[in-house]
């Protein structure tokens, strides 16, 4: 398959809020890690002449406050940026946002756990030590939830620097947990064994998830974002004043009856090259006007010499119908879509390298359901 010429990195973040929300998210995870580690140091009573025990407690408390502050800035900048439809409600009530609902929801859950710890710490004298301690253990749970959120929803998850920070944070927390278990002699043996097994399971789950999820091409499409929302995001980069072509009659839920040839208009959104040069391009195309059902084509591959994308796999969706990309030759894309009348769609695309605007034609022909005409 010959490479497709694309304006790579067309949609990399260019606004201050977008950079700020990414940076505060990373810093918040680092601060949460430090809080957990220093909290363990304080709990086991480790101290030296230069580092008395009360200093660990003070550092733990202040770092935790800084962590919550950075999470708050992370939430505010994410909502204010408006790049994705995440509201303030989604920061507290998990799994409500249409954008990567599971992974954004885990971030809200981690935030809720941190708030529970902070509130009960402020009310410690009123609620009693036993109740405070029980809730305080949630800090251990908030950390892995936050890491899964970072990996699943972060746009920088595959960057070497971010991966390195995640690895260092994981190693630090594991070391802290091991220290806690070795020095927690008041804990029953069975409870310590369960904690050790749970720690190993969480670490393995993080490694496996990263390998099969965010580090593989196509994660942004597989993370749970609806095709309609992906279309809205990509449409932001279509040129202003663009007019929709005249097209054959269709319904919002189905392609024209094959055979047909129609005009296309839309936009392409591309990612910056990741590890091993991996690149993803998402085309959001319309047969009628910008309000019609989008034809979304997602191509995964590697950056080609001279600019462009050498495809390794691809998917296509139109409303509730889905299919695969079967061929790529230059700017001609062949697909197979499982509509009520299975169709082979051939897209001939023209891409504006400066704006990411896309125009062209699509031809549809009936198949036997297996991609054969």
Identify whether the C-beta of residue 233 lies closer than 8 Å to the C-beta of residue 83. Answer: yes
Highest mean pLDDT among 149-163, 164-178, 297-311, 320-334: 164-178
Cβ count near 39 (within 10 Å): 23
Evaluate if residue 319 carries a pLDDT over 50.
Answer: yes
* Bond prior to 259 in cis (omega within 30° of 0): yes
Q: Name the one residue in this structure whose structure tokens are 């040129």.
A: 239
Query: 43-77, pLDDT tens digit by residue?
Result: 777 767 777 777 778 888 899 899 999 999 999 88
Q: For residues 294 and 287, give the distance between their C-alpha atoms in angstroms, rounded to a whole number.
A: 8
**Residue 246's pLDDT band (boundaries 50, 70, 90)?**
very low
β-strand pairing of 343-351 with 295-303: unpaired
Q: What is the reported pTM?
A: 0.61
Could you give the percent of the chain with pLDDT greater than 70? 77
């Amino acid at each position: 398959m010959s490479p497709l010429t694309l304006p790579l990195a067309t949609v990399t973040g260019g606004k201050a809020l977008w950079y700020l929300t990414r940076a505060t998210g990373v810093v918040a995870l680092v601060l949460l890690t430090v809080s957990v580690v220093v909290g363990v140091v304080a709990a086991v009573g480790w101290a030296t002449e230069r580092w008395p025990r009360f200093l660990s407690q003070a550092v733990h408390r202040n770092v935790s406050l800084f962590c919550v502050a950075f999470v708050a800035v992370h939430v505010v900048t994410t909502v204010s940026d408006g790049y994705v439809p995440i509201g303030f409600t989604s920061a507290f009530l998990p799994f409500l946002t249409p954008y990567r609902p599971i992974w954004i929801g885990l971030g809200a859950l981690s935030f809720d756990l941190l708030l529970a710890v902070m509130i009960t710490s402020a009310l410690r004298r009123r609620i009693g030590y036993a109740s405070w301690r029980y809730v305080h253990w949630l800090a251990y749970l908030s950390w892995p939830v936050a890491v899964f959120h970072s990996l699943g929803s972060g746009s920088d998850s595959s960057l070497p620097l971010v991966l390195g920070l995640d690895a260092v944070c994981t190693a630090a927390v594991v070391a802290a947990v091991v220290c806690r278990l070795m020095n927690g002699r008041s804990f029953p043996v069975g409870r310590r064994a369960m904690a050790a097994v749970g720690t190993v399971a969480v670490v393995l789950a993080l490694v496996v998830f990263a390998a099969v999820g965010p580090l593989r091409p196509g994660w942004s499409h597989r993370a749970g974002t609806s095709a309609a929302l992906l279309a809205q995001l990509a449409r932001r980069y279509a040129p202003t004043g663009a007019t929709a072509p005249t097209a054959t009659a269709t319904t919002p839920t189905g392609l024209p009856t094959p055979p047909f040839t129609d005009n296309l208009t839309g936009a392409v959104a591309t990612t910056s090259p990741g590890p091993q040069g991996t690149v993803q391009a998402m085309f959001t195309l319309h047969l009628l006007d910008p309000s019609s059902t989008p034809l979304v084509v997602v191509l995964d591959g590697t950056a080609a010499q001279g600019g462009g994308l050498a495809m390794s796999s691809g998917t296509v969706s139109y409303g509730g119908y889905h299919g695969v990309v079967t061929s790529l030759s230059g700017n001609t894309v062949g697909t197979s879509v499982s509509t009520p009348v299975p169709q082979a769609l051939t897209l001939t695309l023209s891409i504006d390298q400066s704006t990411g605007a896309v125009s062209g034609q699509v031809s549809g022909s009936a198949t036997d359901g297996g991609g054969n005409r």
